[in-house]
Each structure stands twice: as C-alpha cells, then as structure tokens.
Structure 1
Amino acid sequence: MADLIHPSAIVSSKAKLGKGVSVGPFSIIYDNVEIGDDTCIGAYCELGLSNAFSDSKHLVIGKDSNIRSHSVFYEGSVFGERLVTGHRVTVREKTMAGKNLQIGTLSDIQGHCTIGDYVRFHSNVHIGQKSTIGNFVWIFPYVVLTNDPHPPSETLIGVTVCDYAAIATMSVILPGAVVAKGVLVGAHSSLKGDTQEGWVYAGSPAKAICPTNKIKMQDGSGRVAYPWTEHFHRGYPEEQVNGWLKK
C-alpha cells in the first residue's frame, strides 16, 4: 500500500483505504474518508474537508474511481463505484450519487443533492443545492441549475432533472423547474416550471418546440436523434444497451 501513496501526500491514519488505492503528490485525505478498492486519487486533491453542514459524516467513494488533480470533496457525501472526475472539481457536503457518475473539469456540485446512476456532467457545470437528478442524465458545458427564486435569500428550491434528460450548453434551469423524462433543453435556454416528457424546450424563456422524436440525425442517415439511447451507447454496460435496443 505504501508504494501507491506518494511521499508528499498526507493521509490520515483514521481514513479507510481499500486495496490498490493510489494517492498522488501533495494530496490530503482527512479522517472521515472511505475509499474503495483500485481507486486513483490524483495530485493536489483534498478529500474529506469538514464544515458546519457536513455533520461529521464520512465521505465515501466507491471502488474503481478516478479523481483527477486539484479536486476537492467535502465529507458527508457518498458516491457509488466508478466515479470519474476531470481536474479542479469541487463537491460539497451531503451529495448522494449512484454509480459511474462523471464530473467534468471545473464543475461544481454545491451539496445537499441527489444524483442517480450513469449521470454525465461536462466541464464547467454548476449544480445548485437541493438539486435532484435521475439516471442517465446528460448536462453539457456551462449549464447552471439554480435554486434561489429571489436572490439573495434563504429560500432554496431545487431543480429536478428526470431520467434520460439532456440539457444543452449554456442553459440556465431556474428554481423549482422540472425537466421531465427524456426532455431536451436547447442551448442558451432559460427554463422555468414543469415540462412534458419527451419534448424539446428552447429559448429564453424556454418554450415547448416539438416532440424530441421529430429531430433527425445530421449524419445523413435520416434516423431520429431521440431517444438518444437508440444510437449512443459508448460507456454503458452491455446489458443496459441490450435493454434499450429491445425497447
């Protein structure tokens, strides 16, 4: 184990590291941290930071994860197996996430959030407190999920993003909005309120445009682009893909 931890890293004797865990140069792992087997922690990371909101609960990171350099995770959060981050990611307390979450470079999860399985955040994504995100969700660069209906205030109303939804780049999802299952939010949109399953919403303010199955692939095939599960399978387990194709 010792040869997998860089000499400059500081790892608390109270932290629980599984088999095959590697820790890069100048990283710090505090007391209340549990890291699953075969996880890689990059350089200059800080894991298990405490604050007044974490209730001293453990930070748990599942097996086979890869946390890249300069990332900061507060204590009090739980992540399933195969968590993957870019560089300079920040995740605050009480984030509960499923397996195979991907968090892009410079993204920020503000804590007190629930996130499902196989969720993809690209770079520079901001997830506000009290957000609830389902399974197989895509959130693209510079998207912001907000939570304060009349800033600044102590009122926080989280956004809900349901399974298979995709939110395109530079969109803002306003407090309390519900992005229904399979919804596509177009780029540069400002979305408020409820949405209808399987529809496209775009504009500022965003309005319903058409069902997603009206959008065609721009590869010359003439195939429908949505649901995206019919043609995009990279990074998903074979059994899951087979289930999509059978539908």
Structure 2
Amino acid sequence: MNNFVHPQAKLGQNVKIGHFSVIEAGAVIGDNVTIGNNVTVHAGTVIGSNVFVSDNCVLGRWPRPAKTSTVKVDQDLPPLVIGDGTTIGACSVLYRGSTFGTEVMIGDQASVREKCVIENNVVIGRGVSVENQVKIGAYTKIQTNAYITAYTTLEERVFIAPGVTTTNDNFMGRTKERFKFLRGPHVKRGARVGGGSILLPGVTVAEESFIAAGAVVHRDTEPAKLYVGVPAKVLRDVPEREKLENQD
C-alpha cells in the first residue's frame, strides 16, 4: 500500500483512494467516495456519500496564523463536514470548522477557511478564496479568482463574477479601533455582482441588485436597480424579465 488509512478512520462501501493519500484518525467517509492522489484528510473530517475529491487536496486543516496575526485559533473547532454529492477540485484546501451542504462544486485551487457555512448546490470557482466566518446561501455561484472576505454573507442565488473583491476593514489593520467595525458585505437574495467589482466594508447589496463590471460599491444599494461606475450609482431598473421570480 502506498497510502495511509488510520485504523480509527471509518470508511463506507466502495471508497476508492489514490496513491500517497493520508486518512487520519476519526475521519468518517461515506459510501461511493473517490479520493485522488496525494490527498490529506485530517482527523475527524466527515465526508458524505458520493463525494469526489481530486488530487492534492487538504481537507480539515487546522488554522495556523502568523505570529503577528490578531486572529486567535479556536481550539474547539468542530470537524470539517462535507455533504453528499460534493465535488472538490484539485489542490483545494478546506479548513476545519466549516460545513458544506449537498451537491457543492468547488473548483481547482480554491480555499475555504474555518467557521464557514456553505449551503446546498453552491458553486465556488477556480482559485476563489473564502475567508473565515462566511455564510453562503443555496444555489449561489462564485466565479474564478473572486475574494470573499471574512464576515461576509452571500444569500441564496447570488451571482459573484470573476475577480470580484469584498472588503471588511476601513482601517486597514493599523488601529485596535477597527475590531469594533470589522464587517464584510451582505449580498442579498438574487443580487448579481459583475466582474472586477469591489464591495466596501459593511455594505448591503439589496435583493436583485445588479452591480456592473468594475463598479465600486461604497453605500447600500436599492433593490432591483442597476449600478455602474466609481463610485457606483443607479443607472436604471433591472428589467422584470431578469428577476428570479420570472425565471423558469
């Protein structure tokens, strides 16, 4: 054998494990799971049934901040939980303390930090970075190289285009005062954020708002309005035919 499965790990039926992979103590893996080459499943990680894990992934990693970091590691973090039918792309890193629903798609080289809640049928694209304590609602799609900062909420059926940046710190780390105000954006149901847009700390993007590519959102938006520019301003209403309620 050229992989290691700890005797205290629990494997379901028809589990396939590639070369040079490690399954640590207490890991629980459901039925019909495929684990690629050189994958590490850390202690206690729970993987549902019919999950596909590509090569070189790290699942259930403990946070390890820099010595100068203000982030403190919670020693009581629960295990990583991955729901049934999820697909995890190559070289992805998913931290301990996060929970993934069913049928989630995670692209290659994505990273999801601790204490995140990702609901069913979410798509997290290639190279996306999701920081700690983020909530992502069902059927939300986040495309390639987007950055989702800590303490962000994306409600259900939100669309985040490639290269979107979210921010949470108006003080950029120089004062202790910043901790009282640290807050990521809240993007509400059905909102769409175009490529390369920037959402500033604490803004609320209202239901069905449409943020055009390259816009900088510095204030809360109104529902079902199209915003463009730097800073973002209302251009027009979102057409009725484009709203979620009018989709088949």
Could you tell me the TM-score, scaled by structure 1's length?
0.86
Secondary structure (helix, strand or coil) at the match of 2:242 reads: coil
Question: Is residue 2:68 matched to residue 1:39?
Answer: no
2:82 to 61, 67, 71: 61
- 1:208-247 alignment to 2 at 5 Å? 208-213=234-239, 226-227=242-243, 230=246, 244-245=247-248
Q: Which residue of 1 aligns with 2:67?
A: none
Q: Which shifted more, 21-30 or 9-18?
A: 9-18
Provide the rounded CA distance (Å) in 2 between the counterparts of 1:88 and 1:201. 31
Cα distance in 2 between the residues matched to 1:79 and 1:107? 15
Shift of 1:193: 1.7
User: Cα offset for 1:54?
Assistant: 6.5
1:46-76 CA-partner distances (Å, limit 9, x unpaired):
0000122463311111000000100000000
Indicate the residue corresponding to 2:186 in structure 1: 160
- Following superposition of structure 1 onto structure 2, how do residues 180-191 of structure 1 map, counting pairs within 5 Å? 180-191=206-217
Letter in 1 for 2:20: S
Compute the displacement of 1:145 (Å): 1.0
Letter in 1 for 2:53: I
Q: Is it true that 1:73 corresponds to 2:94 in the alignment? A: yes
| Conservation of the 8 A alpha-carbon contact between 1:61 and 1:81 | yes
Does 44-53 or 148-157 show the bigger shift?
Answer: 148-157
Between the two proteins, the alignment pairs up a number of residues equal to: 222
Q: 2:111 touches 2:130 (CA, 8 Å); kept in 1?
A: yes
Q: 2:195 aligns with which of 169, 177, 201?
A: 169
Question: Distance in 1 between the 2:28 and 2:86 partners?
Answer: 15
Q: Cα distance, 1:192 vs. partner?
A: 1.2
Q: CA deviation at 1:225?
A: 5.5
Aligned-pair Cα RMSD in Å: 1.5
1:174-222 deviation digits (Å, cap 9, x = unpaired): 0011000000000000001211100011111101111111xxxxxxxxx
Task: Give SS of 1:188's match.
Answer: coil
Separation in 2, partners of 1:34, 1:28: 13
SS of equivalent residue, structure 1 residue 176: coil
1:152 deviation in Å?
2.0
Q: Secondary structure at the match of 1:158?
A: coil
Match of 1:151 in 2: 172
State TM-score, norm by structure 2: 0.85
- Which letter does structure 1 place at the counterpart of 2:137? G
Moved over 4 A (4+): none
Cα distance per residue 1:85-113 (max 9 Å; x no partner): 11000000000111011011000000101
Q: Which runs of 5+ in 2 are unaligned?
A: 1-12, 64-72
Contact 1:54 1:94 in 2 (8 A): no
TM-aligned CA distance change 1:87 to 1:54, over 3 Å: farther
- Partner amino acid, structure 2, of 1:57: P
User: Partners in 2 of 1:70 and 1:189 — Cα distance?
Assistant: 31
- Identical aligned residues as a percent: 28
CA distance in 2: counterparts of 1:46 and 1:93, whole angstroms? 13
- Where does residue 216 of structure 1 map in the other structure? none
- Contact 1:167 / 1:184 at 8 angstroms: preserved in 2? yes
- 5+ unaligned residues in a row in structure 1: which ranges? 214-223, 231-243
Q: In the alignment, is residue 198 of structure 1 matched against residue 224 of structure 2?
A: yes
